[in-house]
Amino acid sequence: MRLGPAILAMFVLTACRTTGPTPADPGGAASGEPPAAVEASQMMATIEALASDELGGRYSLHPDIDRAASVVIEKLTAAGVQPVGEDFRHRFGIAIGADLVTPPTLSIAHKGKTALAAQGSFGPMPGSASASVTAPVVFAGYAAVANDASAYDDLAGIDLSGKIAVVLLDAPRRPDSSALYSRVRSIGDRFETQARPLREASDTAALSKLQAQTRKELTALVEPFLGGAALPGHLTAVPDDPAGPLDSDAFASMLFAPNADADGPSFPFSAGRLRNKIARLVDAGAVGVIAVRGPRSFVDEVDRDADALPDLTTTRPSRDAGVPVVQMKWRDADALLKLRGRKLSSLQGQIERNLEPASGDMKAEATIVVELQSREVEAPNVLGQIVGSKPDEFVILGAHYDHIGTDEDGRGHCRATVDGVSKDIVCNGADDNASGTAVVLEVARVLASRPTPPERTVVFALFAGEELGLLGSRALAASPPDAAPWKDGTPVAMINIDMVGRLRPDPGLLVGGVGSSPQWMSLFETAGWDGMPITFDRSVTTRSDHAAFYKLGMPVIFMFTGVHGDYHAPGDEADEIDPAGLGKVAGITLGVIEQIAGGSKIEFAEPATPQEGLVPALPGDVEAMIERRVGYEG
């Protein structure tokens, strides 16, 4: 029998209470009692509730998210926090697919002749805008940029302004990652199914044979895409204990290792993402996109022959691209689109061989017509507030409470783990981000217990849809509620808490965004470190919910304790949370929030350099952006 973390915390960690210093007495002295403090046991109870199997990983496209919202609302209500408006829930739409209003059309005009692409040879892609556009056509390769941008950039030297871009899907020497991971996962699941009875029978010889066969199959699947490099021996060789698990994902991960392309530039995983390609192309001025999966990017001949187009009714768009985007089958693209007389398949081969861009003007004009009707579901953000004595200004303390759900159809995109005995299909998201949610709710509980209100209103924003593309925070920033404090007030700052449940000596607490206001560092200095190792970073990462508010010209802070091996995996359980570290993070958060709520000056600062603005890097990743480190040994 093992005690759960919340029960254990009540016995061991009740004394683990931390307060952040505040610029004024919060009211405890007047009542003769010490002011309330954050309590680790309260936060662990919240995490256990949100990260339970019963809530199914809190997927924003499943009713589980509403049940998780009820847990959050119950705790806000119990603390005495008021809703924003008449209800704590503020629903927003999430696109889950689209339907064709009229059949799409695609035509290519070249040297006075116009060819109409046949229906079935192309189709709109998820996220395509409904629009009609006619423009010159430019081949943009993979629209990829290497880790070292000077080594490879498909967009260098081409003019896409007002043009339709023809782009290859995936990345150089990189297959369709979704298809590859699906195939790898299928092989791994089959291995576990076959290995289970052999383990029970202690049949070591048969297990060794199965390990060898499976590793050979995975090697044959992955090695053709490694640019001539070979898989390391620890993956290809039968392990000393053949009864152990098979880490099939490690084979696929080799494609994205920095040295995967040993004889040329290497590309980050993001280089193959469609939304990143479209964003680059649109930023460069493209008014439409024709995407093609070249023949070298398919996992095998079966997929190459099928060349399947996306199913709009079952594929959820990440976001509206703002321009029409269609995918064309590669054989049809070869027939209609050429650059200096060369087919797209030939151009792909050239890029793959030389690892050099082959972009250029195709001397043709295309017309794309797409008309779609989006299909949506709604998910709830949860918004509460403690009304200040001067409510014309307010500060936002936020965290996302959703996660990635389970391994069941329609209930998430979690990848189950199999340990040879049992299968865990729920990604519980204890650290990501029940931990941040727990900190927000605990700070709300403590502030609501104060006998006098703060000067500024404090809004507690718990977001859904973060795991689907920061959708809840984007919705709130774009369309705030027509209610106080937004109706008559001005937000002065936003603090975002995301993954703070595993405080370790390295990396410690990572605090990003201190460059967004000249006051942030002094606020944190007043709050105190409480013995934590902390890295303060000036830049603002794009990868969490504060980004939408920074774009509005608001000072922001992002706090987290780093990524770990259980990230987006079923192992992110409540018993892996560090209650003492969580208490320290909540304490410093409380200290900073109380200063701002108490009227402390906070001003927005424009980035001095592009690196100080919105960047994909996480805090601590870029040494030049580190403002200060405290509390580290050595």
What digits encode the pLDDT tens for the residues 126-167?
A: 889 999 999 999 999 999 998 888 889 999 999 999 999 999
Examine the domain organization and report whether 361 and 214 are in the same domain: no
Structural domain containing residue 315: 102-172+265-370
The reported pLDDT for the residue numbered 421 is: 65
**547: which 2 tokens?**
């980004």
In a domain, 297, yes or no: yes
* Structure-derived torsion over alpha carbons of residues 97, 103, 108, 113, reported in degrees to the nearest 10: 180
Looking at 175-179, 521-525, 545-549, which range is the least confident one?
A: 175-179
Examine the domain organization and report whether 297 and 238 are in the same domain: no
In a domain, 550, yes or no: yes
Question: How is 51-120 classified by DSSP, letter by letter?
Answer: TSGGGTT-BTTSTHHHHHHHHHHHHHHHHTPEESTT-SEEEEEEEEEEEESS--EEEEEETTEEEEPPTT
Q: Is the pLDDT of residue 101 over 60?
A: yes
The reported pLDDT for the residue numbered 260 is: 43
**238: which 2 tokens?**
């039968």
Residue 312 sits at φ, ψ, to 5 deg, of -60, -30
The reported pLDDT for the residue numbered 257 is: 60
The reported pLDDT for the residue numbered 78 is: 98
The rounded mean pLDDT for the chain is: 90
Examine the domain organization and report whether 455 and 482 are in the same domain: yes
- Whole-angstrom Cα distance, residue 130 to residue 555? 35
The reported pLDDT for the residue numbered 31 is: 42
Examine the domain organization and report whether 312 and 349 are in the same domain: yes
Task: Check residue 127 and give left, alpha or beta (phi > 0: left; psi -120 to 50: alpha).
Answer: left
In a domain, 422, yes or no: no
- Percent of all residues in the chain with a pLDDT value above 70, rounded to a whole number: 92
478: CB partners within 8 A, 6+ apart: 548
Q: Is the pLDDT of residue 18 over 50?
A: no
The reported pLDDT for the residue numbered 14 is: 31
In a domain, 190, yes or no: yes
Examine the domain organization and report whether 446 and 310 are in the same domain: no
Average pLDDT over residues 345-352: 96
Examine the domain organization and report whether 145 and 237 are in the same domain: no
Contact 76, 451 (CB under 8 A): no
The reported pLDDT for the residue numbered 234 is: 87
In a domain, 292, yes or no: yes
Question: Pick from 256, 283, 302: which residue ends a domain?
Answer: 256
How many domains in the chain?
3
Q: How many other C-beta atoms lie within 10 A of the C-beta of residue 563?
A: 14
Examine the domain organization and report whether 67 and 114 are in the same domain: no
Task: Indicate which CATH number applies to the domain containing 320.
Answer: 3.50.30.30
Question: Pick from 233, 256, 279: which residue ends a domain?
Answer: 256
Rg value, the chain, Cα? 26
Q: Is the pLDDT of residue 12 over 80?
A: no
The reported pLDDT for the residue numbered 130 is: 95
Examine the domain organization and report whether 184 and 229 are in the same domain: yes
The reported pLDDT for the residue numbered 420 is: 58
Q: How many other C-beta atoms lie within 10 A of the C-beta of residue 211?
A: 20
pLDDT tier, 1 (very low <50, low <70, confident <90, very high otherwise): very low
Looking at 142-156, 332-346, 496-510, which range is the least confident one?
A: 142-156
Examine the domain organization and report whether 562 and 464 are in the same domain: yes
Q: How many other C-beta atoms lie within 10 A of the C-beta of residue 189?
A: 14
Average pLDDT over residues 401-420: 88
- Whole-angstrom Cα distance, residue 335 to residue 327? 15
In a domain, 421, yes or no: no
In a domain, 415, yes or no: no
- Percent of all residues in the chain with a pLDDT value above 90, rounded to a whole number: 74
* Structure-derived torsion over alpha carbons of residues 528, 529, 535, 541, reported in degrees to the nearest 10: -60
The reported pLDDT for the residue numbered 428 is: 98
- Give this prediction's pTM: 0.77
**450: which 2 tokens?**
């104060």
Examine the domain organization and report whether 587 and 480 are in the same domain: yes
- Whole-angstrom Cα distance, residue 470 to residue 35? 35
Question: Pick from 235, 256, 277: which residue ends a domain?
Answer: 256
Q: How many other C-beta atoms lie within 10 A of the C-beta of residue 63?
A: 11
Examine the domain organization and report whether 214 and 192 are in the same domain: yes
In a domain, 424, yes or no: no
Examine the domain organization and report whether 353 and 383 are in the same domain: no
- Whole-angstrom Cα distance, residue 127 to residue 315? 9
pLDDT tier, 612 (very low <50, low <70, confident <90, very high otherwise): very high
**Residues of 387-413 as b/e, b for ≥16 C-beta within 10 angstroms?**
bbeebebbbbbbbbbbbbbbbeeebbb
The reported pLDDT for the residue numbered 392 is: 93
The reported pLDDT for the residue numbered 626 is: 97
- Whole-angstrom Cα distance, residue 14 to residue 16? 5
The reported pLDDT for the residue numbered 35 is: 65
Rounded to 5°, angle at Cα 204 from 203 and 208: 125
pLDDT tier, 230 (very low <50, low <70, confident <90, very high otherwise): confident
